[in-house]
Structure formats: C-alpha cells, structure tokens
Amino acid sequence: MQTMTPLEINPPFLADKPRSISAIFDKARTYNKKHPDQLKADGLYLYMRKLESSSESRVIVNGRELLMFGSNNYLGLTTHPKVKQAAMKAIEMFGVGAGSVRLLGGTFGLHEELEQRIAQFKGTEAAIAYSSGYVSNLATISTLLSKQSDIAIIDERIHASLLDGLRFGQIPFRVFDHNDMTDLDAKLASSVDKGSLTIIVDGVYSMDGDVANLPEIYKLAQKYKALVLIDDAHATGVMGPKGRGTAEYFGLHGKIDIVMGTLSKGLGGIGGFAAGPADIIDFLKHTARGFVFSAALPPSTCAALIAGMDVIENEPEWLIRLHENANLMRKGLQQLGFNIGQSCSAVIPVIVGEDLTAYQLTRALHALGIYVSPVAFPAVRKGTARVRVSVMATHSTEDILKALSAFEKARTMIPAPAPEPAPKEIDQKVA
C-alpha cells in the first residue's frame, strides 16, 4: 500500500506560497486596526474586560469589585441555587455534552422536556431548541422563508442575526422606519402583490430598550394576511406579568405566528429557540441547517433552563424586583438630565451622541466602580452613541442609587456632550 510522505501529510503553510494565494489571510492581517489600537492607547478600550467571578450584580475585574450593569442576566438565574443544582445533577447523570447532533445520536429526554416547556411558556403548540440565539434566528428565517415567493418587511433596528438570516436565505426584504406604523402600512401595501409577506421585529430592541408596537403590527398583519416573526431575546423572562415576553406584555400571548429568541438572557443559560405551530417546528427540525448540522445542547444546560422557567413561574418576586430596579434607574437617569430614549425594559440606553463621549463616560464610570459598556457605530447610527445600562433583579436599591451617583459624577469627568433631542413619542403601552 502506498504511504503518504510527511510533506503530503503536513504541506508547507501559506507563508511559503505566493502572496496572492494567501489573500484571504492578508485580509485578517491588514484590516484597519487603527480605531481599536487608538482606543487602547488612549485608555478607552473597554471591550472584552476579563471577569474573574460569575456574572452577578457584582463582578471582579483585575482584582477589583465593580457593580455589574453590563450583563443580560436579568433575573440572576445563572447563579440561582435551584438552577445550579439542576445543572450539576444532570452533569452527574449525563456528563458535559450530548455527543452528537439531535437527529442522529444526541437527543435526550431533557431536550424534549425543554422544548415542551418553551412551547408552554410561549403559548405555542411546539418549540425547537438551537445551540444559540443567533443560530435560532438565522436558521429559522433562512429555512422558513423562500427567495422565490416571500418578502420580509423588517424594522430598521432588528438584530443583526435576523438580518443575517435574510441574507443567508437570499430573502428579499423591505425596511420600515423604527416602530413607525404608518411606514409599515405603506411598505406592506406596496409589497402585497409581490409575494407572501412576513413582518419581522424585535420584541425589545437590544440597543434602545423600547418595545415593538405589537398591537398595531398584529392588526396590520391581519389586514395584509402577513405572518409575524418576533425575536424575543430581551423580552423572554422579562416582559409581561409572568415574564413570558412581548406578546404577553401586550395581551397577545399565543397569538404571534413565530416567536424566536435566546435562552442566554432572562433564562440564564445558553441556546436559542423558535416556538410556533407544530407542523412548522417539525419542518425546522428536519430541514433547518443550523439544527440538523449543529451539536445538541448539553443535557445540563437543558436541565438548568427548565429549572430557570420553574423559578420564573414559582418565584415571581424576581420579575417584580427587576422592574422596580429598572423603573428606579430610568427615573433617576431622567432626573439627572440624561437621554434614555423610549426605554421601558431592563435595557436602558444613555444616549450621548458622539462615539468618543460614550467611551469617555464608560471609562469614568469604570473608575467609579460601575461596569457598563459603550455602544458606538456601526452597532448604532452615527451620532447616537450610548452607554448601555442593563439592570438586574439581584441589584439592591443601594446598588441603583450608587450607580446613579456615579453617573452624576462621571458627567463632570468628561467634556460635556451636546444635548440630544428626545426621540418622537410612539403610541404604546407604558411599562
């Protein structure tokens, strides 16, 4: 039998090839690092700070304790004793991984129980669990919608994963102005004879903290016979009387066609989901590439997520506390004169305008013991840079007041930003 030579097994790396062959690597080597490098040189690079503790209301960074206002662990479930206990028990029984994709050898009873619980939680017939919220949105949209027969009508501020799902599936789409129902109506009217219509929105918008005007969207969907797909990532476990999401918040629980989202925020774990009619979910389980070709969630993660939903249902005080804290933070920031847009959730943007101002304010807050994150272009439009504040149920009143005091002091530590005009009001329910 002919054997391979070491050279054939380990061919020379691209460094030995002509430069034209390694152009794909040149892109990585030569991309414009001026911006992050300059931020680092100026002491303004505040991304990917290394945590030395769990992501709770207080974290350790470089040996120093900070109040955490940059986490999406809204209810504190990542460290809830019942959630941790469920995960550890599952690890003892099943180990740390599923061993395969779900279709072939990686389905456990815990996967099926998790999906049943998600469907119950969202008021739908069935649900599918994915490896992440990003995969959920990309796989669901690119699988369900067709470039030959469908048109998506999307809010201009939908999450990047939703847009990537449309691009991956080459689905034609039209964009309507954020939460502008007149523009949505116009876009639907001008598209109704060009294909089947699907309206795609976020439930809670991750950079603004405001909510989709779901009652009007629902009415327009009925008028034009359009489907409604919602990314409920920042609403699941957070919005509505029982934390079931945007639809429950507006009295539309169980009436939305497809609800998608992540399991890593309000539910405290990792993964993603889509919930809807049983035949649609079955179709996704056998055709969605992000499900078929992706390893199953670890059984311990499933057990933790099930326990998290138990906590939400049986310990409503966490949801109550979350909104008390968010209301206190919003009111305090407004009284200090900060522009927080139309936030009515646990996501509160402090809109400062210029990117540099957002970086400077974040640095000042970090120095004062407050962990927040700057959000600049292209994550948001130019001139709308902000510091994003995420409130948790596990913050104490004293934590909120300390953060507000820090914001007041931090403002004096940077050049005063130009005042930002308040965004236009929309007709929506007040949290």
Q: Which of 178, 187, 253, 265 is catalytic?
A: 265
Give the span between the Cα atoms of 268 and 115, in whole angstroms: 16
Annotated catalytic residue 147: no
Q: Which of 80, 122, 178, 234 is catalytic?
A: 234
Q: How far is CA 110 from the centre of its chain?
A: 24
Give the span between the Cα atoms of 214 and 313, in whole angstroms: 24
Cross-strand partners of 129: 273
The amino acid present at 346, given as its one-letter code, is A
Annotated catalytic residue 89: no
If you ran DSSP here, which 8-state letter would residue 244 be given? -
Counting Cα atoms < 13 Å in the Cβ hemisphere of 243 gives: 26
Structure token pair of residue 370: 């407050």
Q: Which of 206, 300, 343, 345 is catalytic?
A: 206
C-alpha separations of 250 from 48, 222, 256, 326, 427 in Å: 36, 16, 11, 19, 13
Determine contact, residues 257/251, Cβ cutoff 8 Å.
Answer: no
Q: Going by DSSP bridges, is the β-strand pair 58-61/64-68 parallel, antiparallel, or unpaired?
A: antiparallel
Q: How far is CA 352 from the centre of its chain?
A: 22
229 sits in which H/E element: strand 227-231
Annotated catalytic residue 223: no
Q: What are the catalytic residues?
A: 206, 234, 265
